[in-house]
Structure 1
Amino acid sequence: MRCHTGERPFVCTECGKSFPLKGNLLFHMRSHNKGSNAERPFRCDLCPKDFMCKGHLVSHRRSHSDERPHSCPDCGKTFVEKGNMLRHLRKHAAEGPPTQVSTPSAIPQPGVLPLPTAAAVLVGHPLAPPAPPVVPQHTVVVPTPPGVLTSY
């Protein structure tokens, strides 16, 4: 498993970048052939752009439409790409817990499950903020002396 040892024996002859797997180098080499459509076989049918990966074309196609499938569970802002939403969620996590928003979408509706908060989405994610320290709560019962009012 070269991925875990740091060994990168496959080196690009164009730019010197190295890779642990031959397939990664071959994919990278396609980026140096910008003039060749054979190396960028996925073409957008709405504009002259072409792509090396089908996934990049799928993501690009959303720029021609209103499709924004990734939405923030805290504020409802929508994104074309999941990575952009995750970066946005880190901002919420840094701000602290979400505040109450007086928009119709913030009002609970029957039959609609609530979306998780940014902190819940990022739990276990390497970019998640650290959990606050747990401070143990101790209860001390102090007897009330006679003659002291405990309520008004």
Structure 2
Amino acid sequence: PKCNKGFRWCSDLIKHQRTHTNEKPFICSESGEDFRVSSHLISHRRMHTGERSYPCLKCRKSFSRNSHLRNDQRAH
């Protein structure tokens, strides 16, 4: 499939092509959930492990994703 989008990096083109083919090569070994991008699988695995690497220094909550920490920080 062609959509005429251009990409600077080959890796970005490959990720984009997966939206057209619905290819999801990154599979969680615990839940079987599949992902187009490896970083999404890495974030998903944190749900299983309970890892929360992003602490808020103001309220002492910790988060599994940096975006969740940023949302919390905006609330302060």
- TM-score range normalised by the length of the shorter chain: 0.7 to 0.9
The runs of 5 or more residues in structure 1 that have no matched partner are: 1-11, 93-152
Q: Give the whole-Å Cα distance in 2 for the aligned partners of 1:58 and 1:21.
A: 24
Matching residue of 1:55: 39
Matching residue of 2:16: 28
Q: How many residues align?
A: 75
Structure 1 residue 20: deviation in Å?
4.0
Q: How does 1:69-84 map to 2 (within 5 A)?
A: 69-84=53-68
| Residues 19-49 of structure 1: per-residue CA shift (max 9 Å, x gap) | 3425223321112222xxxx32211011121
Equivalent position to 2:70, from 86, 104, 108: 86
- 2:15/2:37 contact within 8 Å kept: no
| Residues 98-129 of structure 1: per-residue CA shift (max 9 Å, x gap) | xxxxxxxxxxxxxxxxxxxxxxxxxxxxxxxx
Q: What's the C-alpha RMSD, in Å, of the aligned pairs? A: 2.1
1:89 alignment partner AA = Q
Structure number with higher helix proportion: 2
Residue 83 to residue 33, structure 1, CA distance change in 2 (3 Å): same
Structure 1 residue 17: deviation in Å?
7.0
Residue 69 to residue 17, structure 1, CA distance change in 2 (3 Å): farther
Fraction of identical pairs, as percent? 33
Residue 86 to residue 19, structure 1, CA distance change in 2 (3 Å): farther
Bigger relative contact order (CA 8 A; separation at least 6): 2
The runs of 5 or more residues in structure 2 that have no matched partner are: none
